[in-house]
């Protein structure tokens, strides 16, 4: 097993070293899909055989997000340091629910560093979670607990006035999922209109809150987007903080990827107001480049965070001595009791690279986005569909074609071909109803030439599709 383990690690390093030589993504052949229909194994086989199966049937047909030309959705690419840390974490397998262990102290240190990175006060709390969706859910849950005005843990929502959250119409779908799961109902997450730069319109927010109060609703929180998923737009965070304070609303920021731009001194001014959030959700598996899954939520008021989740039955007593002692139990700050050692990869990344290097990579990605936007804007046969606040570029190939109706179909076909040929992976969205090729650049392996290649390949495929028609 030891020898095989060494080989697995070598193979992984080979895989990473040769990423560029392979297609970004490959469609799955039927045999691969059929392989995963095999029945429950009653008897085992050798790990060597199973590993071979993995190499043949799994490794080659993954997401492609490690590749330098992957910019779809918002995905991190993983780092070798993260890979090794995950291996060590899994091997050591500590329970991060709480207790007097070095791993628990380590996670507290990572949380302290996160507070520092986003200039949260020293007394703020936080917890590492699976990702941005969970971080958003927890932030909203603490907000609901803090601002409902009654004992929601005991009474639930029975007899309560409808509790309302607000956020821009560009909010991420995970926030709606969170609101639904919290029992508030998606009708009580008000989508506030945005301006032509996709920033939340403060006046529309103020009038929506005022209207709701008059109509007997209870506004309890407002959500700011630090980097919307569609276009990377940053809401006016400072104004939102001020508005939330004056209206006694919880202020949650979804900074899944965008918050990380705060690490760069050059980009920080774009995110002014970020540290004023009551809760801040962000991912470390997107624009911090770590392997999945790791996200974080920071909460300004530690006590309210703890009171939203802590529960101490007899079999989970915290002690002053022994293994049940130690720093505050992180199971008191989220839904999970047993927790994995995801903190290690964040800790090792920060110790190994230092935060300044990561900040420079983030800055480089923004420069790449600005470069791509510029190339697209200058090309007569391309169109930039949204302003670039950060690292997301939405564009399309027009081929100089005057027929707007067919441009959507043309670009959808280009997208399929870009992906299926393995050339590059953008994803898509709609901007003001128009189909957009969308690159979210959170990729530390991308080089400037990769974007030249993307534009050239998009043009070549676009012309080909037009010629076929």
Cα gap 463→469, rounded to integer Å: 10
Find the part of the chain contacting ligand PLP (CB under 6 A) among 125-133, 348-356, 381-389, 426-434: 125-133
Contact set for ligand PLP, span 209-248 (CB under 6 A): 227, 229
Helices 102-117 and 343-353: angle between axes, nearest 10 degrees: 60
Q: For residue 316, what are its two tokens?
A: 């989970």
Report the residue number, 342 or 410, with the smaller CB distance to ligand PLP: 342
Q: What is the DSSP letter of 200?
A: B
Our finding on whether 132 is near ligand PLP (CB under 6 A) is yes
Our finding on whether 289 is near ligand PLP (CB under 6 A) is no
Single out the residue of 86, 107, 235, 254 in contact with ligand PLP (rule: CB under 6 A): 254
Q: Is the dihedral of CA 132, 133, 134, 136 positive or negative?
A: positive
The answer to whether residues 222 and 243 touch, using CB atoms and an 8 Å cutoff, is yes
**Cis peptide bond upstream of 73, omega within 30:** no
The answer to whether residues 313 and 329 touch, using CB atoms and an 8 Å cutoff, is no
Helices 2-17 and 47-57: angle between axes, nearest 10 degrees: 10
Our finding on whether 283 is near ligand PLP (CB under 6 A) is yes
Report the residue number, 281 or 372, with the smaller CB distance to ligand PLP: 281
Cα gap 291→285, rounded to integer Å: 6
Q: For residue 318, what are its two tokens?
A: 């915290």
Q: Which residue is nearest to ligand PLP (CB)?
A: 132
Our finding on whether 172 is near ligand PLP (CB under 6 A) is yes
Beta bridge partners of 396: 383
- Specify the length of the chain in residues: 469
Taking the complex as a whole, the smallest distance from the CB of residue 229 to ligand PLP amounts, in Å, to: 4
- R_g (Cα) of the chain, nearest Å: 24
Single out the residue of 256, 259, 274, 388 in contact with ligand PLP (rule: CB under 6 A): 256
Taking the complex as a whole, the smallest distance from the CB of residue 32 to ligand PLP amounts, in Å, to: 25
Our finding on whether 398 is near ligand PLP (CB under 6 A) is no
Single out the residue of 101, 104, 133, 279 in contact with ligand PLP (rule: CB under 6 A): 133
Report the residue number, 270 or 407, with the smaller CB distance to ligand PLP: 270
Find the part of the chain contacting ligand PLP (CB under 6 A) among 126-134, 176-184, 334-342, 400-408: 126-134
Interface size with ligand PLP, residues (CB under 6 A): 14
Question: What distances in angstroms separate CA 460 from CA 23, 152, 393, 423, one per listed residue?
Answer: 17, 58, 20, 12
Our finding on whether 295 is near ligand PLP (CB under 6 A) is yes
Report the residue number, 79 or 133, with the smaller CB distance to ligand PLP: 133
Our finding on whether 74 is near ligand PLP (CB under 6 A) is yes
Single out the residue of 70, 118, 257, 288 in contact with ligand PLP (rule: CB under 6 A): 257
Q: How many helices (H) and strands (E) does the chain have?
A: 15, 11
Find the part of the chain contacting ligand PLP (CB under 6 A) among 234-242, 252-260, 346-354, 360-368: 252-260
Q: Is the dihedral of CA 39, 42, 43, 46 positive or negative?
A: positive
Binding site for ligand PLP (CB under 6 A): 74, 131-133, 136, 172, 174, 227, 229, 254, 256-257, 283, 295
């Amino acid at each position: 097993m030891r020898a095989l383990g060494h080989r697995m690690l070598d193979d992984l390093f080979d895989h990473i070293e040769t990423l560029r030589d392979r297609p970004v993504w490959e469609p799955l052949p039927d045999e691969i899909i059929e392989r995963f229909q095999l029945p429950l194994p009653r008897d085992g086989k050798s790990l060597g055989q199973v590993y071979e199966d993995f190499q043949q049937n799994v490794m080659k047909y993954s997401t492609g997000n490690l590749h330098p030309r992957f910019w779809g959705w918002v995905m991190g690419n993983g780092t070798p340091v993260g890979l090794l840390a995950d291996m060590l974490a899994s091997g050591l397998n500590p329970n991060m629910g709480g207790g007097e262990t070095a791993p628990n102290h380590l996670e507290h240190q990572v949380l302290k560093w996160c507070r520092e990175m986003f200039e949260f006060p020293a007394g703020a709390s936080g917890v590492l979670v699976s990702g941005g969706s969970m971080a958003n859910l927890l932030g909203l849950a603490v907000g609901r607990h803090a601002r409902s005005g009654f004992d929601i843990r005991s009474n639930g929502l029975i007899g309560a006035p409808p509790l309302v959250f607000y956020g821009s119409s560009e909010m991420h779908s995970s926030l709606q999922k969170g609101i639904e799961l919290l029992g508030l109902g998606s009708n009580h997450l008000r989508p506030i209109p945005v301006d032509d730069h996709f920033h939340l319109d403060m006046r529309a927010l103020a009038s929506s809150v005022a209207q709701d109060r008059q109509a007997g609703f209870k506004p309890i929180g407002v959500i700011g987007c630090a980097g919307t998923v569609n276009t990377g737009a940053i809401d006016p965070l400072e104004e939102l903080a001020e508005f939330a304070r004056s209206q006694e609303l919880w202020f949650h920021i979804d900074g899944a990827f965008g918050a990380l731009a705060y690490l760069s001194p050059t980009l920080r001014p774009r995110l002014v107001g970020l540290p004023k959030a009551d809760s801040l959700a962000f991912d470390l598996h997107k624009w911090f480049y770590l392997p999945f899954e790791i996200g974080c939520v920071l909460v300004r008021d530690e006590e309210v965070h703890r009171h939203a989740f802590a529960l101490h039955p007899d079999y989970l007593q915290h002690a002053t001595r022994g293994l049940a002692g130690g720093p505050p139990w992180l199971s008191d700050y989220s839904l999970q009791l047993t927790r994995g050692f995801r903190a290690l990869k964040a800790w090792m990344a920060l110790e190994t690279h230092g935060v300044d290097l990561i900040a420079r990579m983030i800055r480089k990605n923004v420069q790449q986005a600005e470069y791509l936007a510029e190339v697209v804007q200058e090309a007569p046969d391309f169109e930039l569909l949204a302003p670039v606040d950060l690292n997301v570029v939405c564009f399309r190939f027009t081929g100089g074609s005057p027929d707007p109706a067919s441009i959507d179909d043309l670009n959808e076909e280009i997208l399929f071909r870009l992906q299926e040929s393995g050339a590059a992976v953008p994803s898509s969205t709609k901007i003001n109803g128009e189909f957009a090729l969308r690159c979210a650049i959170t990729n530390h392996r991308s080089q400037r030439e990769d974007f030249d290649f993307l534009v050239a390949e998009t043009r070549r495929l676009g012309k080909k599709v037009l010629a076929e028609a």
